[in-house]
């Protein structure tokens, strides 16, 4: 009786361990609570089936089909909860199947000198130690790197799934054919083969990670170069405006006595209407080249001016409440990325609305306690759909702007969030200065 109970807890441990490992790197599908409840319900059904089989047909029957039932449970967990693309989910599932089989083999091998109930208890303890070591590593070290690869890679995942698939075939052949590993002797040469295979498995995954990381860095470099080019255009635009403003001031100083003479002559002739028209045209000439001084940070100021002019051309009202000093401890390229993408998204959101409705962009930026706090609000269409924490883009090939904002916020140990409230789309960003 004690032996059967310990075997049941061993199977239960396998299900829980596999679930926790896969969940450590998975992106969950919404609604989160309903998905998790459904996944847990499937697990309970699977565990109940194992219990029934253990009670009615004995331990030998359970050992024969236990792994298959556990894999079906975990496959159901992925299908219900995973929000990753098919090939990403397949890669993760096959990888954790390999890890689970490896843990089973290692724990059984280390506990091989015990028999009966003692063997099962030792196996449970060994697996528990392995899970305690692996789970924190998966969550703190593997997850952020894996999620970064998921965001950057696309079709590469189709080829990547071949790696865990081939290794799984190799494990099955070596560990279970022509006879299962629990029947091997101490000097069975298959043990050396599987040990070598595990080393090869780790090496292949390490090479895959390096290669994938190289691709990600290439994409990041291209994006950074694009942002630097955008920043350079902003600087050139700012410099041109300053040159034009300086030339205009010099010209106005030179011609001021002519303007004064015209005004005096009109006043003498009591030409009030013509004087008003002349003054309006004079003010318009000045305002045409006027540059707003939103803040003392030149990059932020240039970006704000660019999007103010774009909004004015579209008839979009803008309100800026910004205090950004010159030195904020944030790289200029990253600042361009965050502000440029946030304002570009706000502008596009307003452009999707009819021109006969009120369209507005409100920008609030403050630098307090070495933190840059950004909030951009814009009127938007109804029915914006969110995929997790990101809004689903309405533009073909879009969506990179919000992802860039999230990635940049993570680099500065900050946060970024997107929401819709009372007909306004709200982007909130916090960056910690370095």
Residue 413 belongs to a domain with what CATH number?
3.30.565.10
For residue 250, the model assigns a pLDDT of 65
268 located within any domain: yes
52 and 146 belong to one structural domain: yes
287 pLDDT higher than 80: no
For residue 238, the model assigns a pLDDT of 55
15 and 152 belong to one structural domain: yes
26 and 163 belong to one structural domain: yes
362 and 431 belong to one structural domain: yes
Using CA atoms, how far apart are residues 62 and 192, in angstroms rounded to an integer? 28
64 pLDDT higher than 70: no
180 and 218 belong to one structural domain: no
61 pLDDT higher than 70: no
322 located within any domain: yes
193 located within any domain: no
41 pLDDT higher than 80: yes
pLDDT digits (tens, 9 = 90+) for 158-209: 888 998 999 999 888 888 877 777 777 766 677 778 888 888 888 888 888 8
204 located within any domain: no
Using CA atoms, how far apart are residues 108 and 174, in angstroms rounded to an integer? 15
263 and 341 belong to one structural domain: no
163 and 297 belong to one structural domain: no
pLDDT digits (tens, 9 = 90+) for 293-315: 788 888 888 888 888 888 998 99
Q: Could you tell me which residue, 402 or 134, shows the higher pLDDT? A: 134
197 located within any domain: no
Q: Which of these three, 157, 188, 219, is where a domain ends?
A: 188
320 located within any domain: yes
pTM for the full model?
Answer: 0.61
For residue 281, the model assigns a pLDDT of 72
Burial of 189 (0-12, 13-18, 19+ CB in 10 A): exposed
Give the pair of three-digit tokens for residue 122: 């030792």
For residue 224, the model assigns a pLDDT of 67
pLDDT digits (tens, 9 = 90+) for 97-140: 999 989 988 898 888 888 888 988 999 999 999 999 999 999 99
Which uninterrupted H or E stretch holds 368? strand 360-368
For residue 114, the model assigns a pLDDT of 84
Q: How many domains does the chain have?
A: 3
348 and 430 belong to one structural domain: yes
pLDDT digits (tens, 9 = 90+) for 215-265: 777 777 776 676 666 656 656 655 665 565 566 566 656 566 566 666 776
Using CA atoms, how far apart are residues 174 and 191, in angstroms rounded to an integer? 9
272 located within any domain: yes
Q: Which of these three, 291, 323, 352, is where a domain ends?
A: 291
Query: In angstroms, what is the C-alpha Rg of the chain?
Result: 32
Looking at the DSSP bridge assignments, the partners of residue 366 are 323, 373
Cβ contacts of residue 376 below 8 Å, gap of 6+? 342, 343, 345, 346, 361, 362, 363, 364, 426, 427
194 located within any domain: no
334 and 271 belong to one structural domain: no
φ, ψ of residue 348 to 5 degrees: the values are -65, -35
Which uninterrupted H or E stretch holds 246? helix 190-268
Average pLDDT over residues 421-433: 91
77 and 174 belong to one structural domain: yes
For residue 195, the model assigns a pLDDT of 83
pLDDT digits (tens, 9 = 90+) for 276-286: 776 777 666 55
302 and 382 belong to one structural domain: yes
150 and 231 belong to one structural domain: no
**Domain housing 61:** 2-188
Query: Out of 14-18, 224-228, 370-374, which region has the weakest mean confidence (pLDDT)?
Result: 224-228
Q: Could you tell me which residue, 389 or 338, shows the higher pLDDT? A: 338
């Amino acid at each position: 009786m004690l032996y059967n109970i310990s075997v049941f807890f061993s199977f239960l441990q396998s299900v829980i361990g596999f679930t926790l490992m896969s969940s450590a790197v998975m992106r969950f599908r919404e609604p989160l609570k309903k998905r998790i409840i459904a996944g847990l319900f499937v697990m309970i059904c699977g565990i109940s089936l194992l219990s029934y089989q253990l009670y009615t047909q004995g331990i030998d029957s359970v050992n024969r089909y236990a792994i298959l039932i556990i894999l079906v449970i975990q496959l159901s967990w992925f299908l219900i909860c995973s929000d990753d693309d098919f090939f990403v989910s397949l890669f993760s599932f096959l990888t954790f199947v390999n890890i689970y089989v490896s843990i089973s083999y290692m724990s059984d091998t280390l506990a091989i000198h015990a028999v009966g109930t003692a063997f099962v208890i030792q196996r449970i303890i060994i697996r528990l130690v392995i899970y305690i070591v692996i789970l924190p590593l998966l969550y703190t070290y593997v997850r952020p790197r894996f999620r970064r690869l998921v965001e950057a890679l696309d079709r590469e995942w189709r080829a990547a799934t071949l790696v865990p698939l081939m290794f799984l075939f190799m494990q099955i052949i070596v560990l279970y054919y022509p006879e299962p590993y629990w029947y091997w002797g101490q000097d069975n040469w298959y043990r050396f083969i599987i040990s070598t295979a595990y080393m090869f498995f780790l090496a292949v995954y390490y090479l895959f990670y390096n290669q994938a990381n190289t691709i990600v860095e290439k994409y990041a470099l291209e994006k950074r170069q694009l942002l630097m080019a955008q920043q350079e255009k902003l600087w050139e635009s700012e410099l041109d405006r300053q040159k034009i403003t300086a030339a205009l001031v010099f010209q106005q100083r030179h011609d001021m006595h002519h303007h004064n003479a015209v005004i005096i002559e009109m006043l003498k002739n009591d030409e009030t209407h013509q004087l008003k028209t002349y003054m309006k045209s004079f003010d318009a000439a000045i305002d045409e080249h006027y540059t707003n001084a939103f803040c003392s940070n030149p990059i932020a100021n240039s970006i704000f001016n660019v999007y103010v002019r774009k909004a004015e051309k579209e008839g979009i009202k803008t309100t800026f409440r910004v205090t950004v000093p010159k030195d904020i401890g944030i790289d200029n390229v990253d600042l361009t990325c965050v502000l440029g993408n946030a304002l570009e998204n706000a502008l596009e959101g307003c452009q999707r609305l009819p021109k006969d409705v009120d369209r507005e962009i409100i920008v609030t930026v403050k630098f307090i306690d070495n933190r840059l706090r950004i909030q951009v609000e814009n009127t938007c269409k109804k029915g914006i759909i969110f995929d997790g924490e990101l809004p689903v883009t309405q533009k073909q090939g879009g969506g990179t702007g919000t992802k860039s904002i999230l990635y940049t916020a993570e680099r500065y140990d900050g946060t970024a969030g997107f929401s819709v409230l009372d007909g306004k789309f709200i982007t909130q960003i916090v960056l910690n200065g370095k």
